[in-house]
Structure 1
Amino acid sequence: MESGKHRAGRSLWPGTIAAGAALVAGAWLLSGGRLPPLPGADQALGAVGSQVYAPPRDRAVPTRIRIPRLGVDAPVTGLGLDADGRLEPPADTDRNLAGWYRGGVTPGQRGTSVLAGHVDTRDGPAVFYGLGSLRRGDQLEVAGADHGTSWFVVDAVEVYPKKDFPDQKVYGPGRGSQLRLITCGGGYSAQEGYDGNVVVFAHLVRGVPA
């Protein structure tokens, strides 16, 4: 992507993050860690989910994400694109840190916003380690710099090969305000790192401005 628009053949959250960063992810596995959970087929897109859609709210830069089911309560930092048009990963020096693609809409605005986070670092599981265990109907919230909050409900959780990442399906527009949470997942090898990405699809069900 470039300036918020896709470059032909490019994925915003690569087939993934830069190779060096991808290899950092998973280093914990080599020292005895466990592969992160993966979603079951029953969590795929297509089934009937929540029918509640809240009106999108004004732009508010995200400052924090909370996912009660996973015990996640993490600050959010802005992320840009690298020279190849791929989303830069959050710093791997803080396991409890998520990143928002600042070239896109903010969570709660009309359109599709993107939050990404590491699944693990050399020191152990990271902020989005448990994404694959979320289930349809789970809720999460994103606080904004305007001191307002947006609540989302999970519609689906899927895992895709990095070499065949469905950009349009993941980043394309949907009804109202959509949110995508993305991290590494799937299989893992010491040479290539993780071979897939776990993606959570969610939509806005309540928005409270400042």
Structure 2
Amino acid sequence: MLKPFNELVKLDVRPLCGLRDAKDERGNTVKVPYLGWANCVKLLHENGAESVWYAPRRCPETNSYLWPQAKVTTSKGRVTECWFVSVEIHIDENVFSYDMPLLNGSLVVYEDTLNQLRINNALARAFVKGVAVRTGLGFDLWAAGDGDDGEEDLSRHSIYAVKERLERLITSKEQGGLSHRDLLAQLGINDKQMATMMGWFDKLGSLEKAVSRL
């Protein structure tokens, strides 16, 4: 059985992290640690998990692994979608999903720049961060503000900051001994309803973009 959140969050994953170049708030190049998906799987097994795997979730609207959230127009007048990916994560009997934006540092991701490598990297990041939020493994990479999320898109920050805070609050409650099933029961909802509610953040993001274009 996988160790609880309060034990996994104490593990120092940095010795297994790689480093990538990023820009700080002053535009200087800095090295940011990231935990690769393979090392994440390895650490989960070493800490009690018997079965670990993830798979991309297909968007019913596009029939692909890309989830468009809103059309935006750049300062140069070029129109593009805000693309997300979503993964379904399996750790023994626990199954949950996690969404992640396609990031390219401070650059806009256009349709003609999408490729298998970029999508695969986004799926792997979604897996690693989803594991961190739910299990605590590698959580401190983001708690310290230096996790591998790419540069922040401030136009979506306020809405998705609330989503992130809610996900952390749910994790904290489950860490305190409340099972996921009991949490849903006390809220009076099921997993499908929870997923629908979490999807409201994406709809609000789309609404914000639509209003900004008026």
Q: Which has the larger radius of gyration?
A: 2
Structure with more strand by fraction: 1
TM-score interval for Structure 1 and Structure 2 normalised by the shorter chain: under 0.3
Structure with more helix by fraction: 2
TM-score, structure 1 normalization? 0.27
TM-score, structure 2 normalization? 0.27
